[in-house]
Amino acid sequence: MDVGLWSLLLERRMEASRVDQLKHDEKEMSSINYRQEKRVDALRNKVIYFTISYFIVQILVLHSLIASSSSSSLKCRHWWIPFSLSLLVSFLYIIAFCHTIIRFVRTQYQLDLSRLDHEAIRRELITRKCNDKSEVLKPDKVVRFKRYVYIYLVFACLLAFAAVMLFACRALLCHA
């Protein structure tokens, strides 16, 4: 058998093996992406749940302030009681919110990278180019920047709401 023919057969066999490996990798990446999307959705829902719960608790504090200021059961000198309650709720919420947002951002970044890897595998599988030079793909910086801007804006709005609630604790009792 000719050496050139032997190397051509070996090369085709290696290419077929590489295509099979790429198909396996593509299925595995699809599975990983699906699980990461579920994690991202769960974290997003958790942040929404925390935020709604925070607003409900703060509204209950505000409602109790309004009710107590009209019935005069709390005096101005006791303004620190609802203030402390509101501050404690805000502090606990900020800790839970920050922890969940950090996990969300990390998981979303990993999902972005995983999607890029999946796309690279699919591209290589379609073109059937089996080269060892794989380009390093990075997530879109604009999308990441928009995500961070959105998170910071939401966080700033929630801090402003907490500040208004803390001011309302004293203002409703002492100026009512």
**What residue type is assigned to position 61 of the chain?**
V
Angle at 134 between CA 119 and CA 114, to 5 degrees: 35
**pLDDT for position 53:** 92
**pLDDT for position 64:** 82
**pLDDT for position 45:** 95
Q: Quick check: 174 and 79 in contact, CB under 8 A?
A: yes
**pLDDT for position 109:** 93
**pLDDT for position 98:** 93
**What residue type is assigned to position 163 of the chain?**
A
Q: Quick check: 125 and 22 in contact, CB under 8 A?
A: yes
The number of distinct structural domains making up the chain is 1
**pLDDT for position 92:** 93
Residue stretches of the chain with pLDDT short of 50 = 132
Please give the residue range of the domain that contains residue 151.
3-174
**pLDDT for position 3:** 53
The whole-angstrom separation of Cα 103 and Cα 107 is 6
